[in-house]
Structure 1
Amino acid sequence: MVARINASKSLRNALHYNENKVRQSAATLIHSKNFAKDTDQLNINDKLGTLQRLAAMNERTKVNSVHISLNFDPSEKLDDNTLQRIAESYMQKIGFGEQPYLVYKHEDASHPHIHIVTTNIKRNGKRIALHNIGKNQSEKARKQIENDFNLIRADSKQRQQVYSIKPVNAEKLLYGKSAASGTKRAISNVLDVVLPKYKYTSLPELNAVLRQYNITADQGSKESRIYKAGGLVYRVLNEKGEKVGVPIPASHIYNKPTLKSLEKNFQKNQVARRPHMQRVRNSVDYVLATKGRITLSELQNHLQKDHIALVIRQNAQGIIYGLTYVDHKTQSVFNGSDLGKQYSANQLQERIKQSPFIRQITPQITPKNNTPTNKETALPDSLKGAIDLAFEVEKETSPLAEFDERKKKKRKRLFH
């Protein structure tokens, strides 16, 4: 089981997201807890009104909406009764057992999952702290529930990927029964995973990730009404990378991934992605050092083996003007120039041109007692140096490391 917790400022958006799924026959309300009426008697006013009345008891707390998804292995067939019991157990264990909450079973993905909508404001007006709730209470609850209900355990890779999303199929959406709702649902599924997980610092960097799932965030042309108003729409891309189908405004998606909202992520991610720069540099340097003169396309293939996507940006004439590196392992995104000049489009192409040709070293069969020899000589010193450089780890720059360094220097002065 994989649990995801999304806290926000809008109970209305979280509730309407799930209610819209119900109207589209993509979800069902299977359970509710601590409401004045039975589940099948609740209308939209009962649901939203109960949650909003609690939230109003603490006006100082702005983040008062809690939207949880519990995701299960695709092979697990769980009936509604079991899902209800799992939801109750989970909410009790994370400290929300006495809160009013709604449980929706969604059927719009390849794996079974439920969504839970609630508030963190209690009946006495006090708030339930959300800081590190995913890392602490939720993680303990997940492990206990996996044991109690004999669920397939989610290893660290599964928890990181949250049952990996697939690229959007534009053709299916365009010719489906409800193109608009299908497009919105497909885009939302991708954004739910990409936006909170990946560390991007600009719209082009975010699009470098989204394009791998056949989606793009579009501001329109500089003369367009959308651009001038600071708006943003999300589009589906076909296999040629062309925008097709119905554009979905950011404001129409439940968690409101507007440009203003994304800009907050841009600032936060500047620092968050920094420790992962060297891994990308190392991978590029190692490939160039060991593979020699290769094409950019070949470099893409080699980096892909290390879970790094190299996104090449070129104009209509085929001239390459930019490179973006998407590290899926650390979920970090970098423009080439952010890593250093030698990783930018122009400099990297020059480095490739200057790389020597390297032929494969094939062992020569020799008599039993003789020392084996190779047809080709070993790598030249320059290449060995490049490989060593590729594996060089950045110095730690934490205050503790700097303190240790000063202590070492002080000891040296004392003994001289």
Structure 2
Amino acid sequence: MVTVINPAHSMHRIFNYNENKVKEGVAECIGAENFPLDAEDMSLKIKLGYLLKRTELRKDVERKNVHISINFDPSETGMPKEKLMEIARVYMQKIGFGQQPFLVYQHHDAGHPHLHVVTTNIQPNGNIINLHHLGIRKSEPARKEIEKMFGLVEADKHQRRQVFQLKPVDVRKVQYGRTDTRRAIANVLENVLERYRYTSLPELNAMLKQYNVMADRGSEDSRVFKSGGLVYWVLDEQGNPIGVPIKASDFHNRPTLKFLEARFTGNEAKRLPHKVRVKNAIDMALLHKKTLPIDELIKALKKQGIDTVLRKNEDGLLYGITYVDHRTQCVFNGSALGKAYSAKAIQERCLQKEVPAQDLLPHPALKPSIGLQTQATPAAETKAASNDLQPATLLSGTGNVLDALLQPEHASDYVPNQLKKKRRKKKRKNISDNQ
């Protein structure tokens, strides 16, 4: 069993996501705990209204809505609803949500059985259930106990790390003509928009294109662009739009340009602390390598949970590069990390020589010395960003790489004047040539 806890900004969004699945016939609401009525006796308005009334007790809290998924092994299909509800009740009790109102949905649109739970962390007295490290503190111990209690397949640690860190978006690639287009795109958007930190449309598309989806504003002279609209396309295997685009406003969660722009602003600060991890991963892959084909660099980064998306023009020339870090769920254009991580600079570093100008699109010059960088605070990252993120000095010796990555930031060489010892100049005696 594997559980994923996602705090959310909007109760409407996570509630509508699950209820729309019910309408489409790929999910069902199998229970409602701590509500005034049973699930089958409540209308949608009553379900949502009861949850919203609780969240209104704390208007000062930004994230007070919680969306939890409980995932079972593919071999555990066919479990009765009564058993699934009991598992959900025990789990919620063990993580401290036993007295909270929560809805349980069973989904049938994936290759493994799983539940979705919609709830809030606002208690009746207005106090908040702390979500910080809830997964480590309570969810993991609860998962292990429930596996033994109900005889479930135990989740292998290595396997879970690969599936839920390197590939955290649990959706199938959209293939035009094989699945319902709108529903498939909606599944991708639900798993990407709230989880990942991106600050521009190209960065978002670098993530979406891995699932054959693209957000598009249209050409500058198009009606969609002029009206501030946005559409979503399905892409074929070559990355070309096919079929008919769907307007953002047609999706139940309304992933419009206005919504995305608000995310762009908020994500900028949230992803700052995670820049160093991506830069160090790139530097480590290139360390001590005389030459490293860019394809090999991509493979090396993928082992670290980082996907590399290359952008080329019609002539096949590389003009952009984007890094998608699945472990921290952050997306960075190369230029956002610094000049040394841009498309042109990465090509030069891979070849370890100057690339002829005619082979590359114009780009600022590359700093010559690249090395591991220590983890910085958001404030330090902000300062570094304003200084073009100067690369750190290459670490000498062949010491432990992990020590290098985890070492604290070096203090400055500043010494107060009071502690400085004045050196007295020694007078040299003049020695005559006659002595």
TM-score by length of 2: 0.72
User: Of the candidates 317, 334, 337, which is equivalent to residue 336 of structure 1?
Assistant: 334
* Pick aligned residue for 1:166 from 172, 187, 190: 172
Residues 1:65 and 2:48 are matched in the alignment? no
Matched, 1:92 2:71: no
Give the counterpart letter for 2:332 in structure 1. Answer: F
Using a 3 Å threshold, how does the CA distance of structure 1 residues 394 and 103 change in structure 2: closer, same or farther?
same
Counterpart contact for 1:199–1:272, Cα < 8 Å: no
**Structure 1 residues 238 and 101, CA gap change in structure 2 (3 angstroms):** same
Q: Please, what is the CA RMSD of the aligned residues?
A: 3.6
Tell me the residue number matched to 2:263.
262
Distance 1:91 1:285, change over 3 A: same
Amino acid paired to 1:227: F
1:20 aligns with 2:20: yes
In the aligned structure 2, how far is the partner of 1:396 from the partner of 1:127?
Answer: 31
Distance change in 2, residues 1:264/1:215 (3 Å)? same
Structure 2: where are the runs of 5+ without partners?
A: 355-368, 381-406, 424-435
Q: Counterparts in 2 of 1:219-368, with a 5 A limit? A: 219-251=217-249, 252-254=251-253, 256=255, 258-283=259-284, 285-286=286-287, 289-291=290-292, 294=293, 296=294, 300=298, 304=302, 308-328=306-326, 331-350=329-348
Mapped contact 1:232–1:259 kept (Cα < 8 A): no
1:55 maps to which residue?
Answer: 55
Q: Which whole-Å CA distance do the structure 1 matches of 2:420 and 2:376 have between them?
A: 23
Q: Does 1:214 align with 2:212?
A: yes
In the TM superposition, residue 123 of structure 1 has moved relative to its aligned partner by 3.4
| 1:227-269 deviations in Å (ceiling 9; x for gaps) | 3444433322111211224434445243847313421343134
Q: 1:211 is aligned with what amino acid?
A: K
Q: Which amino acid aligns with 1:393?
A: L
User: Alignment partner of 1:98: what SS?
Assistant: coil
Q: CA deviation at 1:350?
A: 4.6
Percent of pairs with identical residues: 42
The CA distance in 2 between the partners of 1:162 and 1:316, in whole Å, is 32
Any conservation in 1 of the 2:217–2:224 contact (CA below 8 Å)? yes
CA distance, structure 1, for counterparts of residue 290 and residue 18 of structure 2: 52
Is the contact made by 1:283 and 1:303 (CA closer than 8 Å) also made in structure 2?
no
- Alignment gaps of 5+ in structure 1: 174-181, 357-388
Show CA shifts across 1:13-69 (max 9, x none).
322222211111100111112222233222223312322333344444454433222
Distance 1:147 1:229, change over 3 A: farther
More helix by share: 1
Instruction: For 2:153 and 2:420, locate their aligned partners in 1 and report how far apart those are by CA, in whole Å.
Output: 59
Partner of 2:112 in structure 1? 111
Following superposition, the deviation at residue 168 of structure 1 comes to 1.8
Aligned length: 370
Match for 1:190 among 167, 188, 192? 188
Deviation at 1:346, TM superposition (A): 3.1
| CA displacement at 1:206 relative to structure 2 | 2.1
Q: Which residue of 1 aligns with 2:5?
A: 5
Residue identity opposite 1:144 in structure 2: E
Deviation at 1:409, TM superposition (A): 11
Q: 1:208 Cα deviation (Å)?
A: 1.4
Structure 2 equivalent of residue 372 of structure 1:
none
Q: Which moved more, 1:201-210 or 1:397-406?
A: 397-406
Distance 2:262 2:324 in 1: 21
Q: CA deviation at 1:271?
A: 0.6
2:144 aligns with: 143
Residue 408 (structure 2) aligns with: 401
> SS in structure 1 opposite 2:5?
strand
